[in-house]
Amino acid sequence: MPVTSLLTRTSFDSASLASQAAIAHPMPQTGRWRLEAHGPRGSAPWVMDIVVRDGGLPRVAVDLAQPATPTNCCDAGETPLSPGGMLNLNLQSDRGGGFALLYGATGSDPVWDSRRLGPGDTYACMPLRPGTYTVANSLGPAKASVRVTYPDPRAAAAGARLASGPAPIKVGQTMDPGEQTIDPGQVLVFAIETTAQLTLVLKAPDDGPQQAPR
């Protein structure tokens, strides 16, 4: 995604992955699973076979925009993941629309849908545009407010550095904390404790200090 698009992006939706966002889903049960990956809008879905077993990887990163092949995955045919390992989904595309469905070895219904997060899941996103954002769970009552600061050039000139660590928010019947302030480049990490679809929308842009008229 071009830098200009990164800086002007004003909304995120956990049910429609795009760049600057990711989902992590724990895989505690051994067995064979089929991940149906839906990439950028308009692209054809593709399938990855996952086997959860002892000796598997602690985490598997999946770019929904890139169909799994022996060159960009772990093994030809199937991907090994350890019990309790994490399935990490992202979409390296500015077209958005990414999601995934997880199926068990039997049954025609998905056992997990990334558009409907549940306890144990994590959603992360990185808003860069300074301003105040409203965070809401479309499937519940929880809401929060996030302010992305406008960097002070005087502080930067004096050697001050922007914060870089993750900013955690718990999502249950409420969000904790209900108000969060971050610097551009910090990642918001939402720990999901209930059914959730999270949206983050810029409500009040911050374009920095206004110059006094001459």
Could you give the C-alpha distances from 212 to 56, 91, 156, 209, in angstroms and in order? 61, 42, 21, 9
Residues 134-160: b if buried by 16+ CB within 10 A, e if exposed: ebbbeebebebbbebebeeeeeeeeee
- Domain boundary, last residue among 90, 113, 136: 113
Residue 106 has pLDDT above 90, yes or no: no
Q: Same domain, yes or no, for 159 and 85?
A: no
Per-residue model confidence as pLDDT tens digits over 9-55? 899 999 999 999 999 999 999 999 999 999 988 889 999 999 999 99
How many domains does the chain contain in total? 2
68 compared with 102, residue with greater pLDDT: 102
Q: Same domain, yes or no, for 139 and 164?
A: yes
- Domain boundary, last residue among 53, 80, 113: 113
Q: What is the domain range of residue 83? A: 21-113
**pTM of this structure:** 0.89
Q: Same domain, yes or no, for 32 and 68?
A: yes
Q: Would 147 be classed as within a structural domain?
A: yes
Q: Would 211 be classed as within a structural domain?
A: no
**131-137 β-sheet, strand order:** 11-13, 198-205, 131-137, 143-148, 179-182
Q: Same domain, yes or no, for 62 and 128?
A: no
- Domain boundary, last residue among 85, 113, 141: 113
Q: Would 36 be classed as within a structural domain?
A: yes
Query: Mean pLDDT throughout 136-146?
Result: 98
DSSP labels, 145-194 = EEEEPPP-HHHHHTT-----S-EEEEESSSEESSEEEE-TTPPEEEEE-S
Q: Would 162 be classed as within a structural domain?
A: yes
- Mean pLDDT estimate for the chain: 89
Q: Same domain, yes or no, for 109 and 51?
A: yes
Residue 53: CB partners within 8 Å, gap ≥ 6? 30, 80, 81, 82, 83
Q: Would 7 be classed as within a structural domain?
A: no
Burial class (CB in 10 A: 0-12, 13-18, 19+), 28: exposed
Q: Same domain, yes or no, for 135 and 98?
A: no
Residue 174 CA from chain centroid, whole number: 19
Residue 6 CA from chain centroid, whole number: 15
Q: Same domain, yes or no, for 105 and 163?
A: no
